[in-house]
C-alpha cells in the first residue's frame, strides 16, 4: 500500500501550498504559467515539506477575473494546457507524496458559460431559473440594495429577458440559483468529474455566497463605525450588513450533499473560504459535525491589522465562536498584499518578519495555507497602473491598488526573466523580488527558504504544535502568547511582534525547545527574545 493510502486524516495539521498557476511557471513561452510548469516545479514544493497543493482555477474561462469566471467546469483552458496535462500533474504530485486540491468556483459562472447563454435567452427555457433573475422595481431600479464586491449594484439589467440578474462580483460573473435543484445536481456532477480524475479535494471559493435570500430583502446598514470584514473601507460594500445576499441557512443543505459526495471517495477534503460579518460563527456552522465542510478559513489574519493585541483578539474570537471548528489558517493568498509588506508596521528587517510570521502561522491550531513565494519572504510588488490587470484594482485605484502586487511571477532565479519563462510575462517581474529568487536561497542555510524547510520538519516532530488544543494567554503590547496541549504535553508559543528585544520570565521547570531556528538568550529564570522572533517552551507537568 502506498503512502497516499496509509495516512488517516492527512489534512489535520497539513501544510497546503497554494499555486496561482498564471504566475508559477511558464513552460511554453507565452508569458503565462501553466499545468506543465506546475509539474516541473513540484519537487520544490515536496522539498519544502508541504503535504498538499491547492491550485487556483485553470478551467476554461474568458479570464475577465483570471479564471474565477468559468465557462466550462470540466475542461482546462488552453492557456494552461489540456486534461492530459492535468492528469500528468496529478500523477507526478502523487508520486512525490503531495495531495492535489483544486479551486471550485460554484457560486457563479462566466456570462460566456452555455448555461447562462440559455438562461438569458427567454423566461421559459429549460435553464431559465438556473441564475438569479428578478424584475425591476416600478421605477426601473434594481430589485433591492445589494452591492457587488467589485463596486456598484449587484444587479445587471438584461435587455432580452427584461430583468435584472444578480452578480456578487463582476457583471460578467452571474450568480447561479442554488434554490433550483437542477443547479445543485449539475454542480455536484462537476465535483464528481474531478474526483474521478483523482483530485484529493476542493478549495471552495466564496462558499457562503451560494444561496441568496429568496425574498430579496434589502441588507441593513452596518452599525456606526463598523465595516464588513475583509473589505477595503473605501468600498461601499463594507457599509452593509450582509444578512440577505449570502450565508443563508439553505446553503448548508447543499454543503451536506457535497460532503456526502466527497465521502464516497477515500480521504477527500473540502475547504471553504468564508467571508462574513460573523466570520467565526459562520465557520463553526459550516464545519460542525461530520456532514459539512472538513475545514474553512476566514479573513481575520488577511488584513493590515497586526498588533499583538489585535491578533490576540482574533484568537479569542476563534475560541469563543468556533473552538470546535477545524480552521485552515493563512497569512497570504492571491487576493491580499503579501504579509511581509502588509504587516511592515511591526518594524524590523523583512527577513526577520518573514521568519517570525512563518513560525506564527505554523504554530496555529489546524491546517495552514502557504501562498507561493511566502517561503521566499517575497515583499509585495509595485505594479504601475498602465500594467495593471486586476479589474478590482482598476475600479478602486489609487486608494486600493488591487491584487496584482501579490500575483507577479514567482522568481525561480535572479536572471532577467526570473526563470519564469522566455516571453514577456502577463504581469511584470518585480526587481525587488529577484534577489530573493529560489536559486539565491536554495543552498543558503541562512535563507528564508531554508528556515521554512527546517521549521516545517521541526514542527512535524512536535505533536503539540500540529495537533494540540489552543489555550490563549494574556494580551500584551509586544508579545503574542498561547499554549498548545496534546496528550499530556504543553508547549508555550511566544512571539515578539515588536522591533525591540523583550524579556519573559520562564515558568518553573520549563525548558526551551531546541531546533526552532531562533537565537535566544536564556538563563534559569528569564528568556530574552530579540526583535521579531519566537520561542517555544515545553512546560513542566505541574505547569500545564
Q: Are residues 515 and 420 in the same domain?
A: no
- Residue 56: the pLDDT is 98
d(CA 408, CA 417): 12
Residue range 162-215, pLDDT digits in tens: 999 999 999 999 999 999 999 999 999 999 999 999 999 999 999 999 999 999
**260 neighbors 290 (Cβ within 8 angstroms):** no
Nearest alpha-carbon partner for 518 in 330, 396, 351: 351
- Residue 544: the pLDDT is 57
d(CA 336, CA 405): 8
Q: Are residues 419 and 523 in the same domain?
A: no
Q: Are residues 363 and 402 in the same domain?
A: yes
**363 neighbors 325 (Cβ within 8 angstroms):** no
User: Which of 430, 459, 488 is the C-terminal boundary of a domain?
Assistant: 459
**229 neighbors 272 (Cβ within 8 angstroms):** no
Instruction: State the pLDDT confidence band at 478, using cuts at 50, 70 and 90.
Output: very high
Q: How far from 425 is each of 25, 44, 214, 330, 505, CA to CA, in Å?
A: 10, 21, 44, 27, 52
Phi/psi at 429 (nearest 5 deg)?
-65, 145
CATH number of the domain bearing residue 512? 2.60.40.1180
Q: Which cell numbers in the block locate residue 415?
A: 536572471
d(CA 362, CA 13): 9
Helix (H, G, I), strand (E, B) or coil at 242: coil
Q: Are residues 344 and 425 in the same domain?
A: yes
d(CA 95, CA 83): 18
- With a cut of 90, say whether residue 522 has pLDDT above it: no
**258 neighbors 270 (Cβ within 8 angstroms):** yes
User: Which of 459, 492, 521 is the C-terminal boundary of a domain?
Assistant: 459
Answer whether residue 133 is part of any domain. Answer: no
Residue range 79-129, pLDDT digits in tens: 999 999 999 999 999 999 999 999 999 999 999 999 999 999 999 999 999
Q: Are residues 281 and 257 in the same domain?
A: yes
Answer whether residue 202 is part of any domain. Answer: yes
- With a cut of 90, say whether residue 148 has pLDDT above it: yes
- Residue 97: the pLDDT is 98
Residue range 278-331, pLDDT digits in tens: 999 999 999 999 999 999 999 999 999 999 999 999 999 999 999 889 999 999
Nearest alpha-carbon partner for 97 in 5, 161, 172: 5
Q: Are residues 259 and 350 in the same domain?
A: yes
- With a cut of 90, say whether residue 6 has pLDDT above it: no
Answer whether residue 187 is part of any domain. Answer: no
Answer whether residue 335 is part of any domain. Answer: yes
Instruction: State the pLDDT confidence band at 3, using cuts at 50, 70 and 90.
Output: very low
The pTM is what? 0.96
Answer whether residue 134 is part of any domain. Answer: no
User: Which of 459, 491, 509 is the C-terminal boundary of a domain?
Assistant: 459
Residue range 345-396, pLDDT digits in tens: 999 999 999 999 999 999 999 999 999 999 999 999 999 999 999 988 888 8
Residue range 273-286, pLDDT digits in tens: 999 989 999 999 99
Catalytic sites, residue numbers: 205, 273
Q: Are residues 493 and 439 in the same domain?
A: no
- Residue 1: the pLDDT is 30
Q: How far from 133 is each of 47, 109, 124, 471, 540, CA to CA, in Å?
A: 49, 14, 12, 48, 63
Sheet arrangement for strand 521-522: 502-505, 526-529, 521-522
How many domains are contained in the chain?
2
Q: Are residues 453 and 480 in the same domain?
A: no
**Residue where the block lists cell 460578467:** 172
Q: Are residues 534 and 393 in the same domain?
A: no
- Residue 341: the pLDDT is 98
Residue range 237-292, pLDDT digits in tens: 999 999 999 999 999 999 999 999 999 999 999 999 999 989 999 999 999 999 99
Q: Which cell numbers in the block locate residue 273?
A: 473560504
d(CA 168, CA 207): 13
Q: Which residue range is the domain that position 297 belongs to?
A: 3-107+193-459
Instruction: Tell me the pLDDT of the chain averaged across its residues.
Output: 95
Nearest alpha-carbon partner for 245 in 107, 129, 127: 107
- Residue 126: the pLDDT is 98
- Sort strands 295-297 and 155-158 into parallel, antiparallel or unpaired: unpaired
Q: Are residues 240 and 302 in the same domain?
A: yes
Torsion angle, alpha carbons of 297, 196, 12, 533, to 10: -60
Helix locations, 65-180, DSSP H: 83-95, 114-119
Residue 235 per-residue DSSP state: S
Q: Is 209 exposed, middle or buried (0-12, 13-18, 19+ CB in 10 A)?
A: buried
Amino acid at each position: 500500500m502506498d503512502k497516499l493510502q496509509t495516512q488517516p486524516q492527512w489534512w489535520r495539521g497539513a501544510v497546503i501550498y497554494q499555486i496561482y498557476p498564471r504566475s508559477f511557471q511558464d513552460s511554453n513561452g507565452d508569458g503565462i504559467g501553466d499545468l506543465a510548469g506546475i509539474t516541473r516545479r513540484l519537487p520544490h514544493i515536496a522539498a519544502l515539506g508541504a503535504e498538499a497543493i491547492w491550485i487556483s482555477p485553470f478551467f476554461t474561462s474568458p479570464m475577465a477575473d483570471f479564471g474565477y469566471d468559468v465557462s466550462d467546469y470540466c475542461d482546462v483552458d488552453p492557456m494552461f494546457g489540456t486534461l492530459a496535462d492535468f492528469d500528468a500533474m496529478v500523477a507526478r504530485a502523487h508520486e512525490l507524496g503531495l495531495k492535489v486540491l483544486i479551486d471550485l468556483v460554484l457560486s457563479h459562472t462566466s456570462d460566456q458559460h452555455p448555461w447562462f447563454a440559455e438562461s438569458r435567452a427567454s423566461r421559459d427555457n429549460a435553464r431559465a431559473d438556473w441564475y438569479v433573475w428578478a424584475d425591476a422595481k416600478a421605477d426601473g431600479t434594481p430589485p433591492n440594495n445589494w452591492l457587488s464586491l467589485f463596486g456598484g449594484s449587484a444587479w445587471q439589467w438584461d435587455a432580452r429577458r427584461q430583468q435584472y440578474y444578480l452578480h456578487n462580483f463582476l457583471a460578467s460573473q452571474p450568480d447561479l440559483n442554488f434554490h433550483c435543484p437542477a443547479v445543485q445536481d449539475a454542480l455536484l456532477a462537476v465535483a464528481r468529474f474531478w474526483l474521478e480524475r483523482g483530485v484529493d479535494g476542493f478549495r471552495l471559493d466564496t462558499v457562503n455566497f451560494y444561496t441568496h435570500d429568496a425574498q430579496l430583502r434589502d441588507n441593513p446598514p452596518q452599525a456606526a463605525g463598523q465595516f464588513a470584514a475583509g473589505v477595503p473601507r473605501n468600498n461601499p460594500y463594507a457599509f452593509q450588513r450582509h444578512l440577505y445576499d449570502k450565508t443563508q441557512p439553505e446553503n448548508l443543505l447543499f454543503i451536506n450533499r457535497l460532503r456526502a459526495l466527497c465521502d464516497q471517495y477515500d480521504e477527500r477534503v473540502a475547504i471553504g473560504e468564508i467571508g462574513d460579518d460573523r466570520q467565526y460563527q459562520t465557520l463553526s456552522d459550516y464545519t460542525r459535525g461530520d456532514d459539512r465542510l472538513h475545514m474553512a478559513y476566514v479573513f481575520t489574519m488577511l488584513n493590515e491589522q497586526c498588533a499583538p493585541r489585535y491578533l490576540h483578539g482574533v484568537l479569542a474570537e476563534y475560541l469563543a465562536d468556533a473552538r470546535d471548528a477545524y480552521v485552515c489558517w493563512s497569512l497570504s493568498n492571491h487576493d491580499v498584499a503579501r504579509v511581509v509588506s502588509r504587516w511592515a508596521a511591526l518594524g524590523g528587517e523583512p527577513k526577520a518578519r518573514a521568519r517570525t510570521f512563518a513560525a506564527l502561522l505554523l504554530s496555529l491550531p489546524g491546517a495552514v495555507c502557504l501562498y507561493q513565494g511566502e517561503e521566499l519572504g517575497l515583499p509585495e510588488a509595485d505594479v504601475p497602473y498602465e500594467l495593471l490587470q486586476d479589474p478590482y484594482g482598476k475600479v478602486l485605484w489609487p486608494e486600493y491598488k488591487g491584487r496584482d502586487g501579490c500575483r507577479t511571477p514567482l522568481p525561480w532565479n535572479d536572471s532577467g526573466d526570473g526563470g519564469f519563462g522566455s516571453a514577456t510575462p502577463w504581469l511584470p517581474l518585480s526587481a525587488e523580488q529577484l534577489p530573493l529568487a529560489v536559486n539565491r536561497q536554495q543552498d543558503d542555510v541562512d535563507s528564508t527558504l531554508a528556515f521554512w524547510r527546517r521549521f516545517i520538519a521541526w514542527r512535524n516532530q512536535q505533536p503539540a504544535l500540529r495537533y494540540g488544543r489552543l489555550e490563549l494567554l494574556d494580551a500584551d503590547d509586544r508579545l503574542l502568547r498561547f499554549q498548545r496541549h496534546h496528550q499530556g504535553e504543553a508547549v508555550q508559543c511566544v512571539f515578539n511582534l515588536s522591533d525591540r528585544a523583550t524579556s519573559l520570565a520562564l515558568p518553573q521547570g520549563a525548558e526551551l525547545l531546541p531546533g526552532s531556528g531562533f537565537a535566544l538568550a536564556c538563563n534559569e529564570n528569564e528568556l530574552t527574545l530579540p526583535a521579531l522572533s519566537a520561542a517555544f517552551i515545553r512546560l513542566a507537568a505541574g505547569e500545564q
